[in-house]
Each structure stands twice: as C-alpha cells, then as structure tokens.
C-alpha cells in the first residue's frame, strides 16, 4: 500500500514538516556559513540564528538570550537533570539532595533521573498520579535539587497542573523542569526550564529548544567551544534553528473537533475505554485500552489495514513493552492504542479508524486476542 493511501495518526511521535518550516530550513541546508565567524556569510548566519532565537523566546515566554538550541528534546531534558545532580563538566556540585519526577514522565526524564541520582548518590522521589494520569498533590522539600513535571503526557494527552506545581516549587525555592514537547495547540506553561522539540511541531528533526528563567544558570553539558552564548559547544544548527522558529510561528488547525469525534466514536466500541477523558487534554492525542486484546496485535492489524498509530511507550517500538505511563495510572498497559493527530489530519482519517477498528476488534477477539 502506498504512503498516499495510508492514514498516519502517529503525529505525537513525529509529524510532517510544515511547508514554511521546510523552506526556512532549506535556505541554510547547503549554505557554507559558520555563525561564529565575522565574515559576511558568518554574520548572515548569526543573524538568522538570533532571529530564530527571538521567535522561540516569544513562544516560551523567556528572553531570547535565555533560549538554547539543542540537538533534541532528549538532550535538553537530560542536560537539566544531570546539571541538577552536579554531573556536568564544570559543575560545582548538585543543587540539592534529591530529584522529584512524576511517574508518567517521558523516559528522557525518568531514565536520566534514575541514572543521574544513582551516580550522584542522591535520592529520587517518583510522584504518584491518579487514574487519569495527573500528578497528585505533593510537598516540595526545600532541599530538593529539581522537580520535573511534564506539561502534556506523550501517551494520553493529559495536561498536568503545571501552574500549581510551579507555585509550590517557587515557595520552596526549587527549580521546575517542564517537558513541553507535546504542548501542541495550547500555550506553553511558565517554568524555570522548559523544553520544546521541532519535529513534534512540524519542524525538522534534530533540533530542540531549552528555555530558561531569568535566574536560571546552567553549566554546559558539552564543552570545547563558545557557541550558544558559551552554554553548548559545537557547531550551531542554523537550518534547524530556522526551521524550528518557522514551525512554532505557524498556527496549527484547531484539532479539538477531530479529537472529540475520534474519542466519542472509540468510546462507543465494545470494551474500549478512553484514558484521561474526564480531565483536560491536549488537542491532538487520544489514548484507549481495548479489553482482552494485546496492543501489539491491534497495532499490527491497523497497520495492515493502512492505519499507522502507536501502542505502548512512544520510544519503545523495538521492545513493545507495557507502558510505564499506563501502569502508573492503573490502566491495562498492554492493551493500549494511541492515536495522535497533526496539522495534515482530516475527517477522512478519523472516519477510517472508526470504520476499520470495530471489525478488527471482533476478528482479534474471535482469535483469542
């Protein structure tokens, strides 16, 4: 089956590049211009990077000088966690004695927190969530080095109460890291450190942005150069920065009506439960569990019928192991499907899912799941 005939509903993993973002990136893809140089091509490249930084700063609500371009959201999130634990090359020590992370964080945060706290001999507190996947109220110890609570969950689309968490963190004088990589179509929340990724928003792969609060000083994770205002060594990705800036400046269509039609149709199917349906969710993600059927079987069955979606953790396609997010919520972790919409998604895409899935469920149940 050709790609043209397929329905792609895995935009939360990566979404096609927007035309404007592609044009902005291509302008610099073949350019021989190092923004660290003072000759004319270098100055032109520097102007392009700083213009992109201005645009990204506007999105994140931070000063342009407090935006750092990174190679991925994973890099940026790891960087903040390792810095908090005093494990960056120029670190003078950890910021506190423990790190607090929600149980439903992306593995880029959870795995980094486990590795960093163990290496630094620090305590890791994993914060419980309710049945909808929202972090439960918790105390913030003044001795904490860092709190990490994502904005939008990458599997369920559930929006976390970041403003409440930020208020508790500030009262305790503790820094808050927010993974906003899935914050598509909704405002980015305020935090001391916030991360967005280009390829989730219609920009090119291989670039992300870390926005820092005014009083947030971060030791570099990569050393050996003075790029990114001496915060991240290595040649700057001019094409990526321009593509990211163009993507975030492009409004997405309102996906809420499509999401709601999809969620309502799925909820009417036998044994299908929509996760997080009673709380605030992002416009582009619908996650369900299907009683008695393995997610892998559903995923492959839909793929064979021309529908691409996701099952399990967004970064574990090689393992297809049960989702730690759904386990934390007390949901059926091995029978999940995640449908995620993007800027090209249409009513026809949603309609095909609602037409195809009931028959697939009946077929798989007749075969014993």
User: What is the rounded CA–CA span in Å between residue 309 and residue 8?
Assistant: 7
Which residue shows structure tokens 């077929």? 363
Q: Which helix (H) or strand (E) holds 273?
A: strand 272-274
Q: Which two tokens stand for residue 287?
A: 């996650």
Annotated catalytic, 315? yes
Which residue shows structure tokens 């094409």? 239
Q: Are 250 and 21 in contact (CB under 8 A)?
A: yes
Q: What is the DSSP string of 86-103?
A: T-STT--S-SSSEEEEET
Helix 256-267 vs helix 347-366: crossing angle, to nearest 10: 20
One of 70, 169, 309, 315 is an active-site residue; which one?
A: 315
Residues 6+ apart with CB under 8 A from 270: 358, 361
- Backbone angles phi and psi of 21, in degrees to 5: -70, -40
Residues identified as active-site: 315
């Amino acid at each position: 089956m050709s790609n043209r005939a397929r329905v792609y509903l895995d935009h939360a993993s990566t979404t096609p590049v927007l035309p404007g973002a592609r044009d902005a990136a291509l302008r610099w893809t073949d350019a021989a211009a190092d923004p660290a140089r003072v000759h004319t091509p270098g100055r032109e490249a520097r102007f392009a990077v700083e213009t992109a930084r201005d645009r990204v700063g506007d999105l994140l609500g931070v000063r342009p000088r407090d935006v750092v371009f990174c190679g991925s959201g994973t890099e940026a999130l790891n960087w903040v966690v390792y810095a908090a634990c005093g494990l960056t090359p120029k670190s003078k020590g950890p910021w506190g004695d423990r790190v607090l992370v929600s149980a439903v964080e992306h593995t880029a945060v959870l795995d980094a927190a486990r590795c960093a706290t163990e290496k630094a001999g620090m305590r890791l507190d994993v914060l419980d969530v309710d049945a909808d996947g929202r972090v439960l109220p918790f105390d913030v110890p003044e001795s904490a080095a860092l709190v990490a609570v994502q904005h939008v969950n990458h599997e369920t689309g559930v929006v976390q109460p970041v403003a409440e968490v930020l208020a508790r963190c500030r009262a305790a004088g503790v820094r808050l890291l927010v993974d906003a990589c899935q914050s598509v179509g909704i405002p980015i929340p305020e935090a001391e450190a916030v991360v967005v990724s280009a390829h989730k928003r219609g920009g090119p792969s291989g670039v992300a942005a870390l926005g820092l609060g005014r009083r947030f000083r971060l030791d570099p994770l990569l050393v050996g150069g003075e790029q990114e205002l001496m915060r991240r060594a290595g040649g700057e990705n001019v094409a990526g920065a321009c593509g990211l800036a163009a993507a975030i400046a492009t409004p997405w269509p309102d996906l809420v009506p499509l999401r709601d039609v999809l969620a309502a149709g799925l909820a009417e199917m036998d044994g299908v439960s929509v996760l997080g349906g009673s709380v605030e969710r992002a416009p582009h993600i619908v996650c369900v569990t299907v009683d008695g059927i393995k997610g892998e079987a559903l995923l492959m069955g839909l793929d064979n019928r021309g529908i691409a979606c996701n099952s399990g953790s967004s970064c574990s396609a090689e393992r297809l192991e049960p989702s730690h997010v759904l386990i934390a919520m007390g949901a059926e972790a091995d029978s999940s499907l995640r449908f995620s919409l993007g800027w090209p998604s249409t009513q026809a895409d949603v309609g095909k899912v609602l037409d195809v899935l009931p028959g697939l469920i009946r077929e798989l149940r007749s075969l014993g799941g």
